[in-house]
Every structure is written in structure tokens, then in C-alpha cells.
Chains A and B, each alone.
Chain A
């Protein structure tokens, strides 16, 4: 009885298996399957290839490349020698270094015969012939790909040529990535630490006015001014924490108070949890300066409210003044960098470049209703300059 049940079960399983094979043959043509396999393997190699010509990245990419070529072994190298290999022992790698150099000099695919690959155990090792093709980025040869096997057919030569083109394209994309990141870095370098000339003039004028009437005060203000410039010009770090930024704002406001006296009121509301949030340096002071210049200066008095609150994954920072407000259309031009108001445009650009577009400045204003400038900063983001959540989004799309 038991045996009968088992026999039926096995027969049923076999039947299902046979049907599945038949169905898959009928539903998927051999051409489709071939294309699918080739593209799927290529896609496995692509992310690793974007790491550039490094031993680590190439080591991960060569496995898929070898199964794409279906050869015994694959080697990638440049003028300095072999970078990574798969399925090729170190003895053969050494033998192949000459071939690498010659194919890079020639810039054309080459067939490798027994001469180049003559190893000690002649013929028995199964790596007797091969194809070497150059890898080109922007028209210059940066390395070579060598496929070795028991024999080298014209088909292998053609396939190898196509694979080399694919690898070259990915390497070009890698260079593009790198240069884009450099461009962002350069932009950040350029945008950082622009002290407004307007402020320097006003501060010095205010200090000058105290020199005769209150020399001690003037001296204190000069010390503050010196400290302000030291912080602003210190150029060897891009990031700081919010507590440091607030201290800079304090020094700045002290200098402004020299001009406005008690007519300038400041309210600060800070959640202590967000004081250690990392921010690009000199991100808050320009926003406060903007509030003083466009909110307080025209009326000659007013109050500024600086807030930093914890909203879970981000810290929300806002600067509000009770001044005259601005026409939103004028503000749009200021943010686009068209007008002379550089401060806000600069801060907005740096926030976007550092954290992504959703962390740019948000400005709420209307004529006669004051202005509120706010932005959010992710509490955790990796040192490479993008927030963790941005990276994960990039990773999944």
C-alpha cells in the first residue's frame, strides 16, 4: 500500500517536472533565453565595474564576466600588470603580463597562441590559448581583458570584443561618477565661507563708533570680530555641529547689537537633543544675517526667533523675523541666484548638494507678515556626503 502511494507520488512529480520543461520551452524561445541570460549576467557585473579598475571591484566583477564568456579563465590588467584574475593561477598570470603590455601598445585585439602561454606542465593545464582585447575610456587605452581557454576560436574573439566594449562603457560611467562627485566637492569649496562685505563694513563702523565713547566695549567687539573671522576662514573642515553654529550666531548677534542696541530682540528655542546634529559649517549665520538685513534693518528694530526642534529622523531649524516680509517673486529670483542677495542662495545650494533636494530652504513670507526661513537636516548621514536615506533610494531605483 505504502509503496503504491510512493510510486504514484513519484510518477506525479515526474509528470509535473516534464510538463514544466515542456511549457517553458514552448513559452520561452531559445533566443529569448539566451538574451535573458547574457543580460542578467552582465547586470550582475555592472555595479562592481562601476567601482573602476581596482583589484577589489574587478575581483567581484570577473566571476560574472567569466561565465558570460564561458572560458576557462579571465584576467584584467593595466600597464602595471595583472589587477585581478578568475580561474587563472599565478604562474599563468605572470606569463600573461607581456601579452597585456603588447595588446595595450597595439590598441587592437590579439590572439594568444601557445607561445605566450607555455607553462611547465605543457598541454595538461587546459589554458593553452587566449584572446586579449584592450579596454578604452574616452578613446585612450586604460587596460586589457584577456580570456584564456584550451583553444581560441574566432567566435571567442568576437564575444571578447563585445564584452570589452561593455566593460569600457561601465568604466566610463565610473569616471563620470567620480568627476560628478568632484564637481559637487568643488562647488562646496567655492560656496563655503563667504563673509558678506556688507557685514564687515557695518561691524567695523559700529566698532569705530565705540572707540572714543567706550574703548573697553570696542576692544571686546574687536575680539569678537576676530573670532568670527577665524571661524569663517578656517577652511580645513566642511562640517561642524549645530552647537558650534549657534555659538557663531551668538558672536554675530553681539556685533549686530553694537549697532541696534536693545532694539534688536532675539529669542532662541533649542531642543538639546539636536545640538550635536552635524551640519555644513556656516549654514545658520547667513540665514540669521539675512533676517537682520531684510527684517530688522529697514524698520530699525524687531525680534528674531531661532528654533531648532527634534522631529525624529531630522532636526528642523528655523529663523523667523517680524519685519516687513518680502514679495515671494523677488525671493524666487534671490534663491535662483539672480539678484545680489548671495547668502540665502549659497545656503540653499549647499544644503541641497549635501543632503539632497528635499532638504533645501523653505521660505514662508508675504509683504507685511515677516519672514520665516526653515530647513531640515537628517540626524544620521554617512560621511561620503549623502544622507543614508538618499543612498538607499539610489540603491533601490
Chain B
């Protein structure tokens, strides 16, 4: 069931990115161009580039998917992704730009004079990049699965090969123009379909639906089950089955008509069931579906269940508000700003741009709940953004909308994973393998292969949850280092080092334990699945406490460093030639 629109979208985005990338350097041949080429990048352009690099699979697919699955409480992720830049704006953007550091290892070493701290920071850069790259791979796998109908691994391998190849061969340098182009592309690709769908669907307002009524398929819907599933049918219904249902198999072509009685039925993997319009959607056996009332609850539900929702919400708020500071691929972009003041203005524009974007996933999640209940059954709510256009319209309009969303999603994987892979390869080659272009290329190749292989293993975990974990690790390791390093004179090498190891290590350990399946209920679930709620305070407390205990490990010339961080550039530097 190849979707020609989606194929066109994915190919077009790849080609357009290559085209913009090849023109990424400013070229001038005449006198008038010369000054344009030498002019600093304006804040709006740079802000769009930062947003473009930032909006990943988690934002494009994950937010809508998770909100559809677990309820509107999951929109706290979207709030946090945007609000993280408010924290960045207030405490980090301008000082870090004045300091001149553009990676966290640079900052760690420059501020605290410790090569060892640099190595540890590099280690966490690699950990965070890995956790952030995995969901991009997963998103690519699911998108191409929807678009081409093939197995999951094709998308993962395609993205892995494209990105790794582009970076290892020296192309695609995370150029400002490419990234800002991709931001506008993503905004259009999500806003236009959402507006079209609102215009096309005619549905009752959500709160007029009875609180406990099961969802109803608004039209004939084919649900494809990737794994063996138990479904709970509430009322007898006549369906068409292709594959194996309750032990008896039905032919793949044409299928067999079956009367599904009320009760639990076992569906084997790779089976499709087509439900008639107006029939009640079955629920997954074993887990009760969310009622509309539960779905509308404003607090976060871990895996759809209500486990200490307030603590879970605060955990996500801590992770996403503070985690954006420590994302290695974002800080590099701030270097393009000429000075601290522009860095601050750029960040403010980023907040506005991101807010414009995150309206649309919320809207799509709501539409998905009303119009595509089949996704609950096949456990593929992460693909809601991609599926909705197909349900709404047909013909050319469907092809255009499919091309847009598939292209936008692919732009999201492409821009974020290239930024992350550049950061990974940069950290690996600069601090571990030795400098030089060759080392950079080999690092990119090795990291790309490793992440692609790991990407094959994470199918089924919510994209957004994976990204949330990357944020939690960043918030527990780099956020305290940056905030205390910039604003506190008494931070010592030992305090920073132990705090970084303890906070980041605890968060990483919790996340790995959660991935392995530990802690499903009660407080252990909170501690492992939203670790930021305890690891962020732990990291801050360790850094402050140990620094006060080890005043001898203070770096030299703390005041000089704080001056470099906080004084406006003009005070220390002569003004240059005025732009004419």
C-alpha cells in the first residue's frame, strides 16, 4: 500500500535540503554583495535555524501521538519544550555567548580549568545525543512504514544511511540556512493539514459526548495488528478479517467475513480487521481505555495510567524546562550570534516560533481521538499525524496532504539527527579520537552505525517518552553545571565533577532501568520513568554542598571568568568598523 504522495514528500524534502545546503555559503562577486556577505546573521534567521534544528520527531509526531494515547496531560511535554527556552533566555543565552564557548565541554573546561571535567562532560554529551537520536530513528521507521507499507527497519536504515553518509562525506554542515528552511517547512507541513482537517471533519464537541461512551469508528476502518493482541469487543459486530483470529486463519486476499461476538478475542500478528462505520471501537484486552473525562484531565498520566499524576507532571516540567539548556546540538547554534544581546533576542524569537508550532500537535491529537480510534488498537498513536489526512480526504487532496506531513516528518528527523550526529562526531573526534577531519568522519560513521543498530531495537516505545528521557539526563547533568557555573562564584572543580557524575549518572541509570521494564507501578514508576524529579535536586545539592566543603578546589581567577561571562562585549573590546 505504497502511498505515492508520501514518497514524493520524503524525496522532495531530501532534495530541497540538499539544494539549500549547497547554497549555504554566502557568495559575493561584486562590491555591494561583499558587505552583505560579511554581515552577521540576523536574529530572526538564526532563531528559525535554532527552532528548525530543535523540532524533532518528538515534536512533529510524538506530542500528538502521546497526547492522543495518554490524554491532554501529555501536552505538558509541548509546554516544556517551548518553555525550556525561557529558562535558556533568562539565565544562559547571553553569558554563554559572551564567554565564547559553544560546547558544554568547552564551557566546563574554560570555566573550571579541569581537563578531567571536560572528559566527563564529553561522556554525557554522547549519552544525551544517543538518547535523543534513538527516537528520531524510531520516528523514521514508523513514518516510512506508514508511507511505504514495508517493515519498520527500512525507515531506520534509510535515515541512518542518509544522515551518516551526508555527514561522513563532509556535506550537510548543519548550516543556518538549511535549518531555518526546515523550520518553515515543518510549520507549514503541520499547520496546513491541521487547518484542512478542521475544515473537513464535522464532529460533535468532545464534552458533549457521554463521559463513558466508547469511541466509535466514524467510517469503515482497517486496523492492522503488528503484534499478537487481545481485543475486547463490547457489542457484536460484523467484520472482515485477513490473517489469523482466535486460532482460525482467513485468506489474505479478500478476507473472510466474521461475526465478532462481545468478549475478548485473540488477534495474531500481521492480521488486519476491517470494522464497519458506526461500530463501537473495541478496547485493548487487559487495559481499560481512557474515558473522555480521564483523557481531558490536565495532569500527566504515565503510560495512560494515573500514577501520582502531580509528581509525574512536575517531573516532566523539571526535565523539559531545564533540559533544553543542556542539548549539545542547540548550543552550537548560539555561536552564530555576534554578541550576548543578540543571543538573548534570538532566544526570545525562538520561544515565539516554537509556540506557533506547538498549537498544531495539540489540535491533531484531539482530532485523532475523535476520528482515528483504530490507532489505539494497533498501538500506533505516534503515527496519528500521518494517518489523519488519509481518513479525511481522498484523491489529489489526500496526496498533497500526505506528501506534506510525510515530508515535514522527514525534515524533522533529518534536521535533528544531523545536528545530533554532528555534535556526537565532534565530541568523539575532538576529545577522544584526536582532532582532524579524518577523525571526525570516522566518528560520524561509527556513531551513525551504532545509533542505526540501536534504533532497530526501540520500536514500540513512545517517541516522546524517549526524548523526555534525553531531556531528563540533560537537566540532571548540564543544567546545574551551567546555572551554577554562570551565576555562582564558589563552584569548585570537585563539586562540579561529582555533581555531574551523580546527577547525570542517576538519571541515566533510572532511564535504563525503566527501558529494561523495571518500576511499573507506584513511586518506583515515578522515580524511574520521570527521574528528573529527584535527580535534578540531587545534582544541584551535590554541586552546592561539595563546593562549599572544598574551597581549595576553586579554579583560578573566578572573577575574571565571571567578568567575561557577564560584562557586555563593548566594555572589554574596542568597537569595530561600523557597518555601512
Interface residues of A (CB under 8 A from B): 51, 56, 59-60, 63, 227, 231, 234, 236-237, 239-241, 243-244, 246-248, 250-251, 253-254, 257, 265-273, 275-276, 278, 307, 309-313, 379-383, 388-389, 391-392, 395-396
Known contacts A392-B118, A396-B115: A272-B109 contact under CB 8 Å = no
Scoring A59, A257, A267, A268 by chain B CB atoms within 10 A of each residue's CB, the highest score goes to A268
Let me know if B100 is at the binding interface, CB within 8 A: yes
Known contacts A237-B573, A240-B574, A272-B26: A380-B115 contact under CB 8 Å = no
> Which A residues are CB-close (under 8 A) to B106?
380, 388
Q: Which 6 A-B pairs give the minimum distances between C-beta atoms? A: A244-B576, A246-B38, A237-B574, A392-B115, A272-B41, A247-B577
Q: How far does the Cβ of B45 sit from chain A's closest Cβ, in whole Å?
A: 8
Which of A59, A236, A265, A313 interacts with B574 by CB under 8 Å? A236
Let me know if B430 is at the binding interface, CB within 8 A: yes
Chain A: CB-nearest residue to B339:
A276
Known contacts A380-B101, A380-B106: A270-B37 contact under CB 8 Å = yes
A60 touches B118 (CB 8 A): no
Between A and B, 30 residue pairs with Cβ closer than 8 Å are A56-B556, A231-B576, A237-B574, A239-B573, A240-B573, A243-B40, A243-B338, A247-B35, A247-B576, A247-B579, A250-B34, A265-B29, A269-B26, A269-B27, A269-B37, A270-B37, A270-B38, A272-B40, A275-B338, A276-B40, A276-B335, A276-B337, A312-B430, A313-B430, A313-B435, A379-B100, A379-B335, A383-B564, A391-B109, A396-B115
B300-349 residues at the A interface, CB under 8 angstroms: 335-339
Scoring A265, A271, A382, A396 by chain B CB atoms within 10 A of each residue's CB, the highest score goes to A382
B92-123 residues at the A interface, CB under 8 angstroms: 100-103, 106, 109-110, 113, 115, 118
Q: Map CB proximity to A onto B421-437 as digits: 1 under 8 Å, 0 otherwise.
A: 01000100110000101
Q: How far does the Cβ of B224 sit from chain A's closest Cβ, in whole Å?
A: 44
Report the tally of A-B residue pairs with Cβ distances under 8 A: 130
Q: How far does the Cβ of A278 sit from chain B's closest Cβ, in whole Å?
A: 7
B345-376 residues at the A interface, CB under 8 angstroms: none
Cα of A231 to Cα of B575 in the assembled complex, Å: 10
B437 touches A311 (CB 8 A): yes
Q: How far does the Cβ of B559 sit from chain A's closest Cβ, in whole Å?
A: 12
Known contacts A268-B34, A379-B335: A312-B422 contact under CB 8 Å = yes
Chain B: CB-nearest residue to A275:
B40
> Which B residues are CB-close (under 8 A) to A257?
31
Cα of A248 to Cα of B113 in the assembled complex, Å: 35
B15-59 residues at the A interface, CB under 8 angstroms: 24-29, 31, 33-35, 37-41
A271 touches B25 (CB 8 A): yes
Let me know if B143 is at the binding interface, CB within 8 A: no
Which of A241, A253, A395 interacts with B338 by CB under 8 Å? A241
A270 touches B40 (CB 8 A): no
B28 touches A248 (CB 8 A): no
Q: How far does the Cβ of A56 sit from chain B's closest Cβ, in whole Å?
A: 8
A270 touches B25 (CB 8 A): yes
> Which B residues are CB-close (under 8 A) to A246?
34, 37-38
Scoring B35, B109, B175, B577 by chain A CB atoms within 10 A of each residue's CB, the highest score goes to B577
A267 touches B27 (CB 8 A): yes
Known contacts A240-B574, A380-B101, A380-B102: A266-B34 contact under CB 8 Å = yes
Cα of A250 to Cα of B30 in the assembled complex, Å: 11
Let me know if B217 is at the binding interface, CB within 8 A: no
Chain A: CB-nearest residue to B177:
A272
Q: How far does the Cβ of B415 sit from chain A's closest Cβ, in whole Å?
A: 15
Cα of A377 to Cα of B13 in the assembled complex, Å: 34
Cα of A391 to Cα of B113 in the assembled complex, Å: 9
Let me know if B173 is at the binding interface, CB within 8 A: yes
Cα of A240 to Cα of B110 in the assembled complex, Å: 20
Cα of A60 to Cα of B106 in the assembled complex, Å: 26
Scoring A237, A240, A271 by chain B CB atoms within 10 A of each residue's CB, the highest score goes to A271
> Which B residues are CB-close (under 8 A) to A271?
24-26, 173, 175
Interface residues of B (CB under 8 A from A): 24-29, 31, 33-35, 37-41, 100-103, 106, 109-110, 113, 115, 118, 173, 175-176, 335-339, 422, 426, 429-430, 435, 437, 440, 552, 556, 560, 564, 573-574, 576-577, 579
Cα of A385 to Cα of B426 in the assembled complex, Å: 23
> Which B residues are CB-close (under 8 A) to A380?
100-103, 106, 110
A247 touches B102 (CB 8 A): no
Given contacts A250-B35, A382-B110, 13 further A-B pairs with CB under 8 A are A59-B552, A243-B40, A244-B577, A247-B579, A250-B31, A265-B29, A267-B29, A271-B25, A380-B103, A383-B564, A388-B106, A388-B109, A389-B435
Known contacts A273-B176, A388-B106: A268-B577 contact under CB 8 Å = no
A268 touches B33 (CB 8 A): yes
Chain A: CB-nearest residue to B423:
A312
Which of A231, A267, A276, A388 interacts with B577 by CB under 8 Å? A231
Q: How far does the Cβ of B43 sit from chain A's closest Cβ, in whole Å?
A: 12
B435 touches A51 (CB 8 A): no
> Which B residues are CB-close (under 8 A) to A307?
25
Cα of A250 to Cα of B33 in the assembled complex, Å: 11
Chain B: CB-nearest residue to A251:
B577
A268 touches B27 (CB 8 A): yes
A273 touches B335 (CB 8 A): yes
Scoring A231, A272, A381, A382 by chain B CB atoms within 10 A of each residue's CB, the highest score goes to A272
A312 touches B335 (CB 8 A): no
> Which B residues are CB-close (under 8 A) to A265?
29
Cα of A270 to Cα of B103 in the assembled complex, Å: 22
> Which A residues are CB-close (under 8 A) to B564?
383
